[in-house]
């Protein structure tokens, strides 16, 4: 028996195949694998990455125990549709935050705070992983780069109306976007990643508006982590583009740990454990 671990999201997927001893026999990459967006395309890309990982090993896809950590993996209908398109001997499809957490923490207890364009949190206690947040730009993702960018644009419009202090950064934003109408036009068409591209202008700034928005975001993340700690002192692994900034900002609150591995590592570990338990 061989094992397939995969980490897939909106920009691509990565795969690795190992034998029973954990020896990696091949790795592969494919296109986007967000099953909340396009299940059929995700299936094609998953199979392409799998074939690349298998290479000339002689192992057939039908002989693989697979754990797939995918964006959209918490959606039951999408999981069911994808499962019917894949040839593996056994398949477990989970959200990519679950496999990222197992990869980052190994079997140990801890918290993962993934803060990039979006945001999601996960806690592992006694080998059981629970995910929190990750509800997308419109309904959640507080503390993320996309939400920070959106808040910056909203604050610039408030300042233009006289409802908030005008600062150099807000004035620059208004000029660059063509005033309030330009910001509204951008907001009507922009993707979360385009909002998120504004976040580095804030994290590297001493502007009062940037500091206030970052203070609010850090307070939110600190509150989430305090609730998830539940009175404990679990190690926290910060991931994503904003992870290092939050790690510095919140240092001293809880133990901060480096990740042990990535989402592919976590998926492979889960696949091997599923075989041991069967």
Taking the alpha carbons of 259, 265, 271, 276 in that order, is the dihedral positive or negative?
A: negative
Residues 249 and 112 in one domain: yes
How many domains is the chain built from?
A: 2
Residues 147 and 225 in one domain: yes
Residues 102 and 118 in one domain: no
Q: What are the DSSP calls for 59-88, one per residue?
A: --GGGEEEEEEETTTT-HHHHHHHHTT---
Whichever domain contains 16, its CATH number is 3.30.420.40
Residues 20 and 121 in one domain: no
Q: What is the pLDDT of residue 127?
A: 84
Residues 118 and 249 in one domain: yes
Q: What is the largest CA-CA distance in the chain?
A: 69
- Cβ atoms of 71 and 9 closer than 8 Å: yes
Domain enclosing residue 58, as ranges:
2-106+260-277
| pLDDT, tens digit (0-9, with 9 covering 90-100), for 131-180 | 888 777 788 889 999 999 999 999 999 999 999 999 999 999 999 999 99
Residues 112 and 226 in one domain: yes
pTM: 0.81
Closest CA to 128 of 152, 154, 102, 148: 102
Q: Which residue in the block uniquely carries the two structure tokens 């804030």?
A: 202
| pLDDT, tens digit (0-9, with 9 covering 90-100), for 38-61 | 899 999 999 999 999 999 888 999
- State the helix-helix crossing angle for 145-160 and 208-229, rounded to 10 degrees: 140
Does residue 229 register a pLDDT over 90? yes
Q: What is the pLDDT of residue 273?
A: 85
Does residue 223 register a pLDDT over 80? yes
Residues 57 and 140 in one domain: no
Residues 187 and 100 in one domain: no
Model confidence at 240, in pLDDT bands (50, 70, 90)? confident
Q: What percent of the chain has pLDDT over 90?
A: 71
What is residue 131's three-state secondary structure? strand
Average pLDDT, the chain: 92
Residues 81 and 23 in one domain: yes
Model confidence at 1, in pLDDT bands (50, 70, 90)? confident
Residues 153 and 40 in one domain: no
Span 64-76, average pLDDT: 89
Q: What is the pLDDT of residue 274?
A: 80
Residues 115 and 252 in one domain: yes
What is the rounded end-to-end Cα distance, in angstroms, of the chain?
A: 13
Residues 125 and 244 in one domain: yes
């Amino acid at each position: 028996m061989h094992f397939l671990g995969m980490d897939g999201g909106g920009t691509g997927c990565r795969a690795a195949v190992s034998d029973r001893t954990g020896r990696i026999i091949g790795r592969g990459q494919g296109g986007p694998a967000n099953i909340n967006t396009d299940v059929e395309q995700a299936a094609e890309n998953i199979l392409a990455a799998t074939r690349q990982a298998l290479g000339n090993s002689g192992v057939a896809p039908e002989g693989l125990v697979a754990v797939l950590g995918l964006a959209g993996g918490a959606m039951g209908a999408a999981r069911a549709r994808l499962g019917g398109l894949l040839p593996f001997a056994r398949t477990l499809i989970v959200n990519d935050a679950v496999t990222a957490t197992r990869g980052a923490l190994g079997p140990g207890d801890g918290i993962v705070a993934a803060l990039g364009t979006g945001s999601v949190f996960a806690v592992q206690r006694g080998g059981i992983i629970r995910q929190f947040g990750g509800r997308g730009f419109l309904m959640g993702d507080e503390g993320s780069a996309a939400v920070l960018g959106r808040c910056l644009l909203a604050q610039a419009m408030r300042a233009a109306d006289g409802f908030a202090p005008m600062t150099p950064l807000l004035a620059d934003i208004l000029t660059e976007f063509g005033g309030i109408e330009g910001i509204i036009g951008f907001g009507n068409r922009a993707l979360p990643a385009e909002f998120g591209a504004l976040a580095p202008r804030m994290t590297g700034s001493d502007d009062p508006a940037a500091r206030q928005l970052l203070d609010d975001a850090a307070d939110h993340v600190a509150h989430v982590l305090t609730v998830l700690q539940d009175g404990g002192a679990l190690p926290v692994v910060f991931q994503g583009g904003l992870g290092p900034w939050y790690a510095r900002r919140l240092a001293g609150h809880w133990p901060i740990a480096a990740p042990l591995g990535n989402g592919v590592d976590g998926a492979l570990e889960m696949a091997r454990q599923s075989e041991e338990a069967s």
